[in-house]
Amino acid sequence: MNLLELKLKKSKQVIDEAFSKFEKVATIWDTGKDSTLLLFLTRQTDGNIPVLFSDTTQHFKETYEFRDSLAAKWNLNLINVIPSVSYDEVKEDPKRCCRSLRTLPMAKKIRELGLDAVFVGKRWVEHPKRAQENYFSKRANCYQVHPILHWTEKDVSNFLGSHKISHNALFDKGYERVVCEPCAEPASSKLPERPESQKDKEEVMRRLEALGYW
């Protein structure tokens, strides 16, 4: 079994465990590559799983087009999560904007649906904060389940490519992730998944030297 097969096996174990543990589950899909992979995997167990899409009203047209085309192709049980405030009301403050258009409406919808758990496509190497995440993570309202934590960006692309799963056209235009149009950043601003730090390296070398390593 190669590494990608091992990773897939682990993801399926986590998904199966979540389905057996929780009665009401849904998957969060933002049309990005990670959540599309997760959607593909969760649908292998339950083809009718509720799919929560956070419709901030500010997505690129490519995102809406991909959402609609895949929803039709895979016959998704799609739930558009729509905010109760308009973009114009919150656009001056990016943090408030994100919270009002994305985070709060999603939390409200999860409560309304009475979900026990939601699948989220987080990966450990995306950000140092995500390195703390576990496969099953208890939140205020319900559990977050992260079946693809251990995948790399390359693993995700390879898997989607080998299974001929289409992707959001934003990626073909140089965007590295799916974001709302007003906050879109050029691809070159993305941080590497494994940043190096000379300071960290020196610290480790100092400690090892103190132990007599060299």
Partner 1 sequence: MGLDALEYTLVEQFRLTNLKQLEYGKVDISSFKKILTPMIWTSFITGLSPKEHGVTAFYKWDEKWARWLRNFSASIGLGRIKEKGRILEKFGLAHRRIHEDKDLKERGIKTIFDYAEHPIAFSVPSYNEEPSASAFHKTDLLKGYYDGKVTGEEVKKRVWSSFERRKRNLTETLDRDKKWDLLMFYEHGATDLLGHIFRGNLTEMWEIYVQMDLFLKEVKEKIGDETFTLVVSDHGMKPVGRYGVHSSYAFYSSNIPLNLNFPKITDFKDIILEKLRE
Told to check if 2 binds partner 1 by CB under 8 A, we report no
Instruction: For the sheet with 117-119, list strands across it.
Output: 77-81, 50-54, 25-28, 117-119, 143-145, 136-138
String marking each residue 26-45 x if it binds partner 1 according to CB under 8 A: --------------------
Stretch that binds partner 1, among 53-61, 99-107, 119-127, 158-166 (CB under 8 A): 119-127
Q: How far is the CB of 52 from partner 1 (least distance, A)?
A: 25
Told to check if 195 binds partner 1 by CB under 8 A, we report yes
Among 41, 152, 178, 179, binds partner 1 (CB under 8 A): 152
Interface residue list for partner 1 (CB under 8 A): 3, 6, 10, 123-125, 128, 131, 134-135, 149-152, 193-197, 199-201, 203-205, 207-208, 211-214
